[in-house]
Amino acid sequence: MSRTDLSLNTTFWFPGRWIGGLSLVIAPLLLLLAEVVLLPFDFFFPQQLKAFAEYPVRISSGYSLFLAGNILLWPAILTLTHLIGRTKPGWAFWGGSFVMFGLFTRTFHYGINHLAFQLVHIQGVEQATKTIAGSYGGFHIVATFSMCIVLGWIILAIGAYLSGTLILIRAIALAVMSALMLGVLKGSSTMAVIATSGLCIALVPLGISILTDKPRPSVRSILVWSLLIIILVAIMFISGQAG
């Protein structure tokens, strides 16, 4: 449990208790599930492309789960930095900023991953592997942010402990996320499962504490938010089909 007051209802803050709390619970679990799904396959990109050709549904599911978790993680990071920043604003500022830049980097990489898998469909595994190998070291501006997320998790973990937001063992678990590899077509590994498990240990209990803190939402609020979420999911689904 946290050593600090988790009541977040006194003033407005973004993204807010509900989105922030849900993100703290859901995003780490999606990342861990993705790593477990991809774990049986070799880590490096030629084997990842070969695995996609042989098991397209499983590999697509694993990469999609990770991307969804990575995108959904931003409200969790903002919520964590909000808690840290109440007593340790410097640690919150630098840790939160670095991790957020890193999340953008991972999202960019997953766009490349998607293209690589489409090349397998179009060109076959051998030609797609040659194409990716030939362009693998190409410079892109997002590469300049690659180290941000490695340092960011460590800074954020230190700030979480010093501010009392996380106890020591959960702060250490958060810092382990810095060991999660970054790059194009990176599969899973034992270390990746450990890193994302650490994220779950650090953030999921915090999210549950925030969501169960009083005051509880009214039935009317729950119905309204449920309707808005259903509409949003429907719009996203229709947009995805149109794209």
Looking at residue 171, what is its pLDDT? 98
Tokens for 125? 């595994």
Q: How far is CA 37 from CA 50, 59, 66, 104, 156, in A?
A: 16, 8, 10, 23, 28
Q: SS3 string of 46-64?
A: HHHHHHHHHCHHHHHHHHH
Domain segments of the chain as ranges: 17-212, 218-243
Looking at residue 1, what is its pLDDT? 44
Looking at residue 5, what is its pLDDT? 61
Looking at residue 99, what is its pLDDT? 97
Q: Does pLDDT of 77 surpass 80?
A: yes
Distance (Å, rounded) from C-alpha 199 to C-alpha 153? Answer: 10
More confident residue, 109 or 144: 109
DSSP string, 163-181: TTSS-HHHHHHHHGGGGS-
DSSP one-letter code for 136: T
Tokens for 194? 């450990």
Average pLDDT, the chain: 90
Looking at residue 172, what is its pLDDT? 98
Looking at residue 144, what is its pLDDT? 83
Residue 122's nearest CA partner among 43, 52, 61, 186 is 52
User: In 3-state terms, what secondary structure has residue 101?
Assistant: helix
Residue 64's nearest CA partner among 37, 102, 42 is 37
Tokens for 109? 């990489």
Residues 20-74 have pLDDT tens digits of: 999 999 999 999 999 999 999 999 999 999 999 999 999 999 999 999 999 999 9
Residues 120-140 have pLDDT tens digits of: 999 999 999 999 998 887 788
Residues 185-220 have pLDDT tens digits of: 999 999 999 999 999 999 999 999 998 887 777 778
Looking at residue 220, what is its pLDDT? 83
How much is the pTM? 0.89
Residues 3-26 have pLDDT tens digits of: 556 555 557 888 988 899 999 999
Looking at residue 243, what is its pLDDT? 55
